[in-house]
Structure 1
């Protein structure tokens, strides 16, 4: 009787072990980033062992993710150069990666960690796949860690470009609001003031005169163009400089996000 029970227990244990050993591989997950695509399996998430996987499949999956990460890193290397032709495209790729790539990185790291426990870890291409994978994981995470600052800077630049494009319309609207149809030369009426991205400020007057001030420099007066001798005598530069100095600082048209220096009122 005891012998029979032992055989039954051993048979049950063998069945259980066989079931564990034949546990199906995790389902293939499809991931797309920009123009790149990789198929992979989440062995850790499925509580499965990559060492039980078909070695050829595991090789292909790990290589595919490594390739996608390499393309992501190469495809975002111009993020620090806003003048690069592909900069806008790379910013969009970074936005996409920020939302979806961290999960893939965690899975890939877990799969590589599992590979390190496999008996075939030193065979074929697996050593290079593991080495390269660890390298790419570090580079990709570094790139993502910089994404908030990069995307914030890109948003500021986009806002500044829009601000620059709309500047002529704001100036025209201000002229129509504050100037008469035939402004008198010499009245020194400021209708619009703008601070540029470099911190230089210009005060515009209804009669065509301007006061200009570079950042850190003294303001200078620029008289209206094509004045005749009679009108030129009406123009008194100190009046224009004084009008610019007393123009409300809060009404100066400034670039977005306070990128230019705050001080923009010339000394009287």
Structure 2
């Protein structure tokens, strides 16, 4: 009799274990917390946890979809000026886009999977789910499109910053080249070329240690400009052809130019913008 009662108790415990095990298997995935800028969203990765949102509490699932939809809507709105460098909120929009580029892709993937899984749920046509699905699909496409533009927008921003630095640091580059290449003291009539630069508009200048400058604009012939205050004896020592020849011989690749998209990606030439040259 005792043996039969023990057997019955064991069977009952096994049955309860199976029931509780089945319940545990249907527990929803853990909530994940995500922040982007000032937005927050809680969601669950059903696909990654090998679960189905169709087995979840519909109200919870609707709240999760609503939260992610809201975050994506704000992301799309607050990055729309990221490509317009003149826009007032460009810096903030660009920063948010860059943050999204780093952290948003996994959330987009989960949201895409959850929206796809929703189409198989029995409650998909009830309550707010039709609107959530339609809006979520549209926002997902907009966010993915904005993310696809991000590398191009980042490259343009990096180029603008490089060009700004080039303009600001121009005097320092020129001074360093003079310090490096010019003899002390410099001699008038000795065409020691220490620096050459070209403006974005195509105006080129070759600078010489004795104060002479060769200038060229567009297709015009280069011209030699003498510094003020030269004596008659100093003027007699100046041979324009030597200065013009030195300018023509200056390596084009070493000329100081505003960065472009192509040059920003290429390795910088050694000694760019500060090579010396002397015409004999």
TM bracket, shorter-chain basis? 0.7 to 0.9
Aligned counterpart, 1:66: 69
Distance 1:80 1:199 in 2: 27
Q: Is the 8 A contact 2:178 2:195 kept in 1?
A: yes
Distance 2:221 2:140 in 1: 54
Aligned counterpart, 1:55: 58
Aligned-residue offset at 1:97: 1.8
Q: What is the total number of aligned residue pairs between the two structures?
A: 250
Identify the match of residue 253 of structure 1 among 252, 256, 279.
Answer: 256
Aligned counterpart, 1:160: 163
Q: Is the 8 A contact 1:189 1:205 kept in 2?
A: yes
Aligned-residue offset at 1:222: 5.7
Distance 1:199 1:62 in 2: 55
Aligned counterpart, 1:194: 197
Q: 5 Å matches for 1:218-233?
A: 218-221=220-223, 223-227=225-229, 230=232
Query: What TM-score do you get using the length of structure 2 for normalisation?
Result: 0.74
Task: Flag the 1:213–1:38 CA change in 2: closer, same or farther, 3 A.
Answer: farther
Q: Is the 8 A contact 2:224 2:244 kept in 1?
A: no
Moved more, 220-229 or 80-89: 220-229
Q: Is the 8 A contact 1:62 1:129 kept in 2?
A: yes
Unaligned runs of 5+ in 1: 1-7
Q: 1:146 is paired with a residue of what secondary structure?
A: helix
Aligned counterpart, 2:219: 217
Give yes or no for the alignment of 1:27 onto 2:27. no
Distance 1:51 1:146 in 2: 34
Moved more, 225-234 or 26-35: 225-234
Task: Flag the 1:158–1:245 CA change in 2: closer, same or farther, 3 A.
Answer: same
After superposition, the C-alpha distances for 1:129-156 in whole angstroms (9 at most, x for unaligned) are: 1111111111111222222333233333
Query: What TM-score do you get using the length of structure 1 for normalisation?
Result: 0.77
Aligned-residue offset at 1:225: 4.9
Aligned-residue offset at 1:39: 0.8
Q: 2:127 is paired with a residue of what secondary structure?
A: coil
Unaligned runs of 5+ in 2: 1-10, 265-272, 274-280
Q: Is the 8 A contact 1:211 1:219 kept in 2?
A: no
Aligned-residue offset at 1:116: 1.9
Q: 2:205 is paired with a residue of what secondary structure?
A: strand
Distance 2:107 2:185 in 1: 67
Q: 5 Å matches for 1:1-268?
A: 19=22, 23-181=26-184, 183-214=186-217, 216-221=218-223, 223-227=225-229, 230=232, 237-256=240-259, 257-258=262-263
